[in-house]
Every structure is written in C-alpha cells, then in structure tokens.
Amino acid sequence: MNCIFCDIIAGRADASIVHEDDDVMAFMDIRPWTSGHLLVVPKRHAANLSELDPADGEKVFAAGQKVARALRGGSAPVEGVNFFLADGAVAGQEVFHVHLHVLPRTRGDGFGLRGVPRSPSREDLDGAAERIRASLVSE
Ligand code: AMP
Ligand code: ZN
C-alpha cells in the first residue's frame, strides 16, 4: 500500500513534526491554506472515517484541541481556528489516510468555505432527522 502519511509516520518521508505520541502525529501541511495550517493523523492507517477506530478518532480530536490551544497561545497572532476533515473524494479528500486539518485563522486571511445556506422548513428538517435516526438504529 502506498500512503504518504504512513511514510511520514514511519520516518520514510520528510515532515515538519509538531507533535507525536504513540497514537497520533501532527505535522505541517505542505501546501498550507493559512499560515500555520497543520494536519493531525492517526498512526494506524485508516483510509476514511468508516475504517477509523473511534478510539483513534478521539485521540486525533484531542490532539487537534491541544494543538489549537498552542496556536492560540503562541507567538503568531491567531484569532480563531477551524477544524476540517474531508471524508471521500467528493468531499475533497485527496490523501486516503484520515487527517484532521487544523487551520489557524486571522481576520482577512482569505480562507473560507463556499456554500449558500438553504432555508428548509421545520417539516423538511424533521424528515431529514427521521431518516438519519433510522440509519443510526439500523447500524
Ligand atoms: P485532503 O484534501 O483533505 O485529503 O488534504 C490533503 C492535504 O495533505 C493537503 O492539504 C495537502 O497539502 C497535504 N499533503 C499532501 N502531501 C503532504 C505531505 N507530504 N506533507 C504534508 N502535507 C501533505
Ligand atoms: Zn496511511
């Protein structure tokens, strides 16, 4: 299997590492969307969310929180942080080893999500909730 993030974790590929423990690694994104943009990855390979052990998901999120706190308390001005995770090609996933993007934000940094909010009725929202609840119980 050819996975650039597994190569980084194994020390076979270069990375600018921010944090490493037994379960997760955080390193700088090679093509940052904002200054300080980094990625948190589980060390155990999981191509996508459905393959990810929820325990590893918790560790990735906890490491993201820790790094976000460090970014906010660091020397560079950071006014906010976005977490972003792409699951599936249609969602923008390009590297098929789960990774949490951690994006330090400052006013006017040019980053933004495109999308126009819709205005569904309560009936539509209730219908959507009902369908998702049905999938949850049948899991
Ligand atoms: P995604 O579109 O969510 O799959 O994002 C993949 C991210 O991985 C992109 O932001 C890339 O810039 C980043 N990336 C790809 N290869 C490397 C690498 N060798 N080191 C650090 N970041 C990488
Ligand atoms: Zn991998």
Spacing, Cα 77 to ligand 1 middle (Å): 24
Ligand nearest to the CA of 6: 2
Burial of residue 33, with CB atoms counted within 10 A of its CB: 0-12 exposed, 13-18 middle, 19 or more buried: middle
The angle subtended at Cα 84 by Cα 86 and Cα 130, nearest 5°, is: 70
- Residues 6 or more apart whose CB falls under 8 angstroms from that of 77 comprise 106
Q: Which amino acid is at 98?
A: V
Show the ligand 1 pocket: residues with CB < 6 angstroms. 4, 13, 15, 29-31, 39, 86, 92-95
Sheet holding 80-84, edge to edge: 17-20, 24-28, 38-42, 100-105, 80-84
Q: Ligand 1 atom closest to Cα of 37?
A: 10
Ligand nearest to the CA of 9: 2
Q: pLDDT value at position 36? A: 96
Q: Ligand 1 atom closest to Cα of 7?
A: 19
Q: pLDDT value at position 138? A: 75
What amino acid positions are annotated as catalytic residues?
Answer: 99
Q: Which one, of 6, 36, 109, 106, lies nearest residue 28 by Cα?
A: 36
Residue nearest to atom 18 of ligand 1 (CA): 30
Q: pLDDT value at position 15? A: 98
Q: Which amino acid is at 55?
A: A
pLDDT tens, N- to C-terminus, the chain (139 residues): 899 999 999 999 999 999 999 999 999 999 999 999 999 999 999 999 999 999 999 999 999 999 999 999 988 899 999 999 999 999 999 999 999 999 999 999 999 989 999 999 999 999 999 999 999 987 7
Mutate to test the pocket of ligand 1, among 25, 28, 31 (most ligand atoms within 8 A of CB): 31
Q: pLDDT value at position 83? A: 98
Q: pLDDT value at position 1? A: 81
